[in-house]
Structure 1
Amino acid sequence: MYIRKIVVAILLLGVVLGLFFVYRVYTAIFAPNTGFNNEEAYVYVPTDAGFPEVREQLEPLLKNSSSFEKVAEKKGYAANPRPGKYIIKKGMSNNDIVNTLRSRNTPVMVSFNNQETLEDLAGRIATQIEADSVALLEVFEDNAFLDSIQLDKNEALSLYIPNSYEFFWNTSAEEFRERMLKEYDRFWNEERLAEAKRLNLDKEEVITLASIVQKETTRVDERPRVAGVYLNRLRKNILLQADPTVIYAIKKHTGDFDTVIKRVLYKDLEIDSPYNTYKYAGLPPGPIAMPDISSIDAVLNPERHDYYYFVANINKPGYHKFSKTLAQHNANKREYVNWLNSQSVHR
């Protein structure tokens, strides 16, 4: 009888210990193990990162990092971390976290517009994906690539159509560039190509003119009219005389694209640059900024009119006064210059 009690006691102890072990295992794998208060947190795993780097990022987010490490090892993740952006939700278990890190690379939305240079574009993109600005600029300016798509460095910015695009965070510089080439080809559909041909312009010339239109007016509804002015001048072989091209020429000459020029002076018109449309006929060698789609489509679908000149409208901020004759334009211009002087805008 006594021996039987001992056996039963041992069996009961074994069951208790077994249940305790199962509980510990279950808790380690399936119990919530997040230690943050927000609904979710983000983990960015760099390309070629080892498990120690992943663990270091996760440690502040977990209640128990050692239990996570054991589960990651058991499930084989510790030996094969995968790069990307991952969302860790509040209340996730170690099992959930490992499964997320293994297979749920979350896309990011990459947006860009209004960049003046490839350097600006590289810096903007580098804040949104893993590739750094140096690597991005290197592939943007790669001569072999540009030759393969028949662009030169002056035209290279025209390849990047401003918009919002879905990427994985761990996209490389080369992958970003190749995707942008596909988006460029998709943007230039048959309809847009036909409109460009009708205007006797190629794709890069359309974007170059659109960049001037973009800089001339922030008013989207006015862009087709401004585009119409420049197209009229091109048809008549009249110098474009676009102030934004002079400003760009100055910035390019000085290398300072952060400088702010509110007023173009007569002495500025003498700068010897192919971007100075007061000196050189036709379009400049490439875009002076990144035009948005509304500016590109304004060039492709310009307003038809007989205007050849325009100047800022002091009575309607952001808009311009348009004229058909030089005499009318000069009268409008005197009004604008007098206003600038009254506002002490000298540069």
Structure 2
Amino acid sequence: MREWLSIYLKGICMGAADIVPGVSGGTIALIAGIYDRLIAAIAALDPRVLATIPGLTSAEGRTRFRERLVEMDVPFLLVLGAGIGTAVVLMAQVIEAAFEAYPAVLNGFFFGLIAASAVVIYRVTDVDTPGRIGALTAGAVIAFVVTGVAETDGQTSLVLLFVAGSIAISAMVLPGISGSAFLYIFGLYQYLLGVLGDFTDALLGLAGGGSVDAVVEPGIPVVVFLAGATVGLLTMARLVKRALERNRMATLGFLVGLMIGALRMPVEQAAAATEVWTPGLIAAVVAATLVGIVVVLGFDYYTDSLDYTEEAPA
């Protein structure tokens, strides 16, 4: 029981990091000493286990099913996921309120997080060939062009949510790379915060006699996003891992470029949300940016180095 509680608490720490653009839950997993187990468990997931479900009617079938889940370390993933989900739900409310009250300051904080993350990864990336330079440049241009393209006033494509979920979950399992940053690039970050808040409020409202329709409306985009994340965990996370194995430096250079190009988003959002820039507000934004930088550099210091950037032995 103590071990499961420890994993749950580590999941809470990962979830708190995952919901902030620029800080990776993978980094927290590295610090907490569960990163290798997390990656091994994800790699072991096999959808073919679902074929054994009809056999649950017998004691032997249930035993076989349970043993297969334990082999894939699914109990570990479920407990860790519960912790991550708890933190995401709680933090979403706080960040959504902060966006409403202090948009420029919060965007300054996100600017610092993303900029420092790009520096941290670039520091351990050898961008010294035309191909790697081209990958970094391509990432920067793509992110700059598509940043905010999906910004929404309350409606968005379910297909886009599905794709965003699959990409975000792939990034969340890598140290130093934030899945939330990709949602921020797509312009879906605030939308998903709001939808998640509405969904959890509606679920809590059911206990007081609330309407099921109030749950369904925000629940659809949440479920679609989670479905995309599930598919991404089984497919795209492995593709990212394969890309890192085949050409790590070019892949990381591309990711660094994405972060550089994404810096357009916090600047534009801070400018759009602020009519008058007073000296006090400017000082607060600068301070928030510096805090974001310190947070990422602090995580990087305690992880010593991002081991996953090292070239695999031939």
TM-score norm. by structure 2 comes to 0.27
Greater Rg by CA:
1
Structure with the greater relative contact order (CA < 8 A, sep ≥ 6): 1 or 2? Answer: 2
TM-score norm. by structure 1 comes to 0.25
